[in-house]
Amino acid sequence: MIQLQYLIGGQSIMSDDFRLMIGTTFLPTISPRVDSVTVSGRSGVLMPAAPMVFDAPEITVKAFAKGDSAVMLMRRFYRLCSQASTLTRVERDTATGLSRRMVTRAVCTSCEPDGDDNPWSGTSMATAVFRLPDVYWRGVQWQEVTLAASGGRLLPGGVPNPSGKGYWTRWTGLPNASPSMLFDTLPDGWLSDAPITTLVLRFGAATGVTISDPASGTNLVWGGKRDASRPYLFIDVANRKAWTSSDSAAWSGGTDETGGIDWTTEPLQVWPDISSGDYRITIKQTGGTDKVTCRFLQSWE
């Protein structure tokens, strides 16, 4: 059984006198943004070759307050909705003890009462609708994975069988700087099940790289001259930016090298494999054979 808790703007207002019923984005309605082109003298339309992109979904929140402070609690709910910039979802699996926390940006598009409320009624109800600009929920702890120079598996879709040691371990945050969690199995999609939109890669001395995702058929290419005083190259996939630095931890930027960014199909999208749920990327490097460090947040529908 999965227990859910939601926080509006990072705050929980649940109590004996206040309850929230929140809709779900789990297995959401597929509403892709499809661009098509008509061509003179040709029947039908031309469709883009890249994987679909999606418009922002909506989630509905129903609030119910009771007791002498019902109206006061509901007014607080209204203030939270009007000022909130994020929604947080906390999931706990009571059968396995697994838990995870995810967050997404949110904008309240409407909030209105469900009844004829007054200060003496003893109950108050309202419905709010939030639009989620980022489409997907994101993890709150940055993950780091080191891959071979040619790429590899970024994240498994699930762990259906115990490891040879009888358990499987993963850092809850940065490697060697956060607690680790031990599991014998992990259900499919528990670690991540949506496109990863926060991937940043760190390379060594390469003068050219091609990063490809076999699941979506997309890629990102970078090429340029390198300054020996800045031995690290960083590429931000979602924002299509690149920079170099002398600091191996310069994940937020250094000397801009974005002019070397390009792609041959469509800009890189990192999707889970349809069958296994694994996230894999392939990498080709010119001028370097160093391992590649990847930093990202997990992603869920």
Counted residue by residue, the chain has a size of 301
Please compute, for residue 18, the number of CA atoms within 13 A of its CA located in the half-sphere on the CB side: 18
Q: How far apart are the first and last CA of the chain?
A: 19
Residue 130 backbone zone (phi > 0: left; psi -120 to 50: alpha; other: beta): beta
How many whole angstroms separate alpha carbon 128 and alpha carbon 173? 33
Rg from Cα positions in the chain: 23
Distance (Å) of CA 201 to CA 156, 180, 198, 212, 220: 18, 23, 10, 12, 11
SS3 readout for 121-188: CCEEEEEEEEECCCCCEEECCCEEEEEECCEEEEECCCECCCCCCCCEEEECCCCCCCCEEEECCECC
The sign one gets for the Cα dihedral 101, 102, 105, 107 is negative
Residue closest to 203 by CA, chosen among 232, 229, 227? 232
pLDDT in tens, the chain (301 residues): 778 888 999 888 888 888 888 887 777 677 777 778 898 999 998 877 777 788 888 999 999 999 888 888 999 999 999 999 999 998 888 777 778 899 999 999 999 998 777 767 788 999 999 999 999 999 998 999 999 999 999 998 876 665 555 555 666 656 666 776 666 667 788 889 999 999 999 999 899 999 999 999 999 999 999 999 999 999 999 999 999 999 999 998 899 999 999 999 889 999 999 988 999 999 999 998 999 999 999 999 8
